[in-house]
Amino acid sequence: MIVAVVSGKGGTGKTTVAVNLALSLDREVQLLDCDVEEPNAHLLLRPEINTAEPVCLPVPVFQKERCTGCGRCIEVCAYNALVLLRDKVLILQELCHGCGGCLYFCPEEALVEGKKVLGTVERGRIGKIGFACGRLNVGEALAPPVIKALRRGADPALDTIVDCPPGASCPVVQSVRGVDFCLVVTEPTPFGRHDLEVVAEMLRMLKIPCGVIINRADLGDGGVRDFCKEQGIPVLAEIPFKKEIARSFAAGIPFIERFPGWQKKFQELWNAVEERVASSNARNCCA
Partner 1 sequence: MPVVMREIVVLSGKGGTGKTTLTGAFATLGKDAVLADADVDAANLHLILRPEVVAEEPFFGLRLPVVDRERCTSCGVCTQLCRFEAIQDGELDETACEGCAVCFHACSAGAVTLREALTGCVYEARTAFGPFVYAALGVGRENSGKLVARVKQRAREIAREQAKNLLVVDGPPGIGCPVIASVAGANLLLVVTEPTAAGWQDLERVLELARHFGVRAAVCVNKASLDEEIAGKIEHYCRQEGAAFLGRIPFAADVVKAVVAQSPVTERLAGPAAQAMRAVWERALDLV
Amino acid at position 252, single letter: G
| Interacting residues of 43 by C-beta distance below 8 A, sequence separation 6+ | 252
Q: Is 156 in the site for partner 1 (CB under 8 A)?
A: no
- Name residues whose C-beta falls within 8 Å of residue 172's C-beta, 6 or more positions apart in sequence: 6, 164, 165, 166, 199, 202
Which span sits near partner 1 by CB under 8 A: 23-31, 92-100, 228-236, 261-269?
Answer: 92-100
Pairing of strands 235-239, 88-91: unpaired
**Which residue number, 173 or 272, has a Cβ lying nearer to partner 1?**
173
Q: Which stretch binds partner 1 (CB under 8 A): 4-12, 60-68, 232-240, 265-273?
A: 4-12
- CB nearer to partner 1: give 27 or 243: 243
d(CA 155, CA 163): 16
Per this entry, what is the length of the chain?
287
170: contact with partner 1 by CB under 8 A: yes
DSSP H helical segments within the chain, as ranges?
A: 14-25, 41-45, 72-76, 101-105, 144-152, 170-176, 190-206, 223-231, 243-250, 261-286
Q: How far is the first Cα of the chain from the last one, in angstroms, to the nearest whole number?
A: 21
Question: What burial class does residue 284 get, using C-beta atoms within 10 Å of its C-beta: 0-12 exposed, 13-18 middle, 19+ buried?
Answer: exposed
Q: Is 209 in the site for partner 1 (CB under 8 A)?
A: no
Q: Which one of the spans 59-67, 140-148, 154-162, 265-273 is the region binding partner 1 (CB under 8 A)?
A: 140-148
Q: Which of 3, 4, 5, 9 binds partner 1 (CB under 8 A)?
A: 9
In the complex with partner 1, which residue's Cβ is closer, 124 or 166?
166
Stretch in the footprint of partner 1 (CB under 8 A) among 9-17, 63-71, 151-159, 273-281: 9-17
Taking the C-alpha atoms of residue 130 and residue 151, their distance in angstroms, rounded to an integer, is: 13
By CB under 8 A, what part of segment 107-136 binds partner 1?
136
142 binds partner 1 (CB under 8 A): yes
- Contact between 207 and partner 1 per CB under 8 A: no
Smallest separation, CB 242 to partner 1 (Å):
11
Q: Using CA atoms, how far apart are residues 10 and 167, in angstroms rounded to an integer?
A: 7
Residue closer to partner 1 (CB basis): 38 or 226 = 38
Site size with partner 1, rule: CB under 8 A: 60
Least distance to partner 1 from the beta carbon of 63, Å? 21
Q: Could you tell me which residues come within 8 angstroms of residue 82 by beta carbon, excluding any fewer than 6 positions away?
A: 60, 73, 74, 89, 90, 91, 92, 102
Which residues contact partner 1 by CB under 8 A? Answer: 7-12, 15, 35, 37-38, 40, 43, 58, 76, 78-79, 97-101, 104-105, 136, 138-143, 165-173, 177, 189-191, 194-195, 198, 201-202, 205-206, 219-221, 243, 246-247, 249-252
